[in-house]
Structure 1
Amino acid sequence: MIVENIKQVEENIKQACEKVGRNPEEVTLIAVSKTKPYTAIEEALPSGILDYGENKVQELCDKFDILPKNIRWHMIGHLQRNKVKYLVGKVQLIHSVDSLRLAEQIEKEFAKADEIANVLIEVNMAQEESKFGITSQETEELIREIAKLPHVRIQGLMTIAPFTDNPETNRVYFKNMKKLSVDINNKNIDNVSMNVLSMGMTGDYQVAVEEGATMVRVGTGIFGERNYNI
């Protein structure tokens, strides 16, 4: 069932790309495996998907220890500074950097291992009080500060759009994210790339792809409803 779900999501991404004249290969599907047992990922692996997203550091580390080492792990949830050290050597991309203090902690921990941390800046484009992330107005200034850190590489931006039954209502946020990404890219800030635009989840990823997402984070659409009681 999981492999079939992945095939359907990939087909939806392909159709969204065709609609706007994009190459589907520009879009990476991240299977969000949070709250799911490692066996669900084992079930998904025959599909060829190797990018998996976790919300909690402990869960990511536990699965990292059990599952094949060619999996690319994405930290997509809010990251506490005291948990950063556990991600060194395990994480492909940290999607949720929203403060200089967090970036400085990432610099400190990854420098110890002489590793580079690839990160995205989390922007709260819809300015929802319940969500983390900075405002679009604060983004450039924060990027310029983080860009000075030698072991942190900004690869782009991430946003979590509002939960909605009508994905069209989120189009404006995705469109504004793409514009912000282009604007920052045009500044040519040293040590900063805007190659990644991580936006769109199960309910709205097709609209996000139409508006320029290069990564979509799909959990329920692949693994089914989450169990928050574990």
Structure 2
Amino acid sequence: MSTFTEATEARKSELSENYRAIIDKINQLNPKVNLVAVSKIKPSSDIKALYDAGVRHFGENYVQELIAKSQELPKDIKWHFIGGLQSGKAKDLAKHVESLYAVETIDSLKKCKQLDNTREKVGGSEIKVFLQINTSCEEQKSGYNSEVLDDLEETVKYLLSDECKKLKLIGLMTIGSFSESTSESGENQDFKKLVEVKEILDKKYQLDLELSMGMSNDFEQAIKQGSTSVRVGSSIFGARPPRNAA
């Protein structure tokens, strides 16, 4: 039983129109691209409004917030975890989010194994995995090194092995640097690097990896460069208030 108040009709219309505007832009470039509506810090009523309009893919950044929302919203929502994943939270995510569709921020073999082992213990459904690549080589960003692929390949081998029971490698993810994402020079070098890493892994391991790249301010350029999934939040839900530290 839901514990939240339904969105107003005006809010429902606003959300639906915003979502449709983004979908229209995506379809003009590549109708096969998946849109993940990033609902972090937004109320469950907003998510339910879009759900009622037919949307199923939603992205959340915080483990506890995702757990809470997943327990009060419809079970056929396809939740994408797109925030920084701490080792200590990987088990909570695998254990408590029954309808977890994908984790897009795997950046270590350890976290992979924690997710897989916990998901198997609880008998949960398969979780799709994107490996996060730090294509801009920014120190403050998470992700595998895009220049030295040894750690990345170790994780790929694990995901493709019989040892891994509940995770399925489907793609790579990156967050472009601010300078590249706001540049008007055309090709985004961070997205270009992710495509290059994909080509290396595809060839070496006989894969056809998807690419999750592009957000509100750069998703159109990302699609032009080969993205198959984009993560859009503020352009759909509006600006977010500062997150309460508590």
1:209 paired residue number = 223
| SS at structure 1 position matched to 2:201 | helix
Q: What does 1:43-82 correspond to in 2, within 5 Å?
A: 43-82=49-88
Pairs within 5 Å for 1:104-119: 104-115=113-124, 116-119=126-129
Q: Structure 2 regions of 5+ residues with no counterpart?
A: 1-13
Aligned to 1:102: 111
Task: State which of 151, 165, 185 in structure 1 corresponds to 2:202.
Answer: 185
On the 8 A contact 2:76/2:99 being kept in 1, the answer is no
Q: Is the 8 A contact 1:6 1:47 kept in 2?
A: no
RMSD of aligned Cα (Å): 1.8
The answer on 1:171 being equivalent to 2:171 is no
Give, in angstroms, the shift of residue 168 of structure 1.
4.8
Counterpart AA for 1:159? T
- Distance in 2 (CA, whole Å) between partners of 1:65 and 1:144 is 33
Q: Go from structure 1 to structure 2 and tell me whether the alpha carbon gap of 1:64 and 1:194 turns closer, same or farther (over 3 Å shift).
A: same
Amino acid of the structure 1 residue aligned with 2:108: S
- Within the alignment, does 1:9 sit opposite 2:19 as a pair? no
* Range moving further from structure 2, 82-91 or 4-13: 82-91
Number of matched residues?
A: 220
Structure 1's 224 and 142: CA in aligned 2 closer, same or farther, altered over 3 A?
A: same
The one-letter code matched in structure 2 to 1:183 is I
CA contact (8 A) 2:36 2:59 kept: yes
Which letter maps to 1:203?
N
Q: Residue type of the partner of 1:77?
A: G
Cα displacement (A) at 1:170: 6.3
Q: Percent identity?
A: 35
**Structure 1 CA distance for aligned equivalents of residues 243 and 40 of structure 2:** 12
Q: Deviations over 1:129-149 (max 9, x none)?
A: 121101122233432244334
CA contact (8 A) 1:168 1:207 kept: no
| Worse-superposed segment, 53-62 or 43-52 | 43-52
Matches within 5 A, 1:135-174: 135-136=145-146, 137-138=148-149, 139-148=152-161, 149-151=163-165, 152-163=167-178, 164-166=181-183, 168=185, 171-174=188-191
Distance 2:243 2:144 in 1: 30
Where structure 1 has 5 or more consecutive residues not aligned to the other structure, the ranges are 18-23
1:59, 1:222 → 2: CA distance?
Answer: 19
| Shift, 1:108, TM fit | 1.6
Cα offset, 1:207, TM superposition: 0.5
Letter in 1 for 2:39: S
The structure whose Rg is larger is: 2
Shift of 1:79: 0.9
Kept in 2, the 8 Å contact 1:124–1:135? The answer is: yes
Distance 1:160 1:127 in 2: 11
Query: CA–CA distance in 1 between the matches of 2:84 and 2:208?
Result: 21
Contact 1:160 1:200 in 2 (8 A): yes
Contact 1:178 1:212 in 2 (8 A): yes
Q: CA deviation at 1:69?
A: 1.1
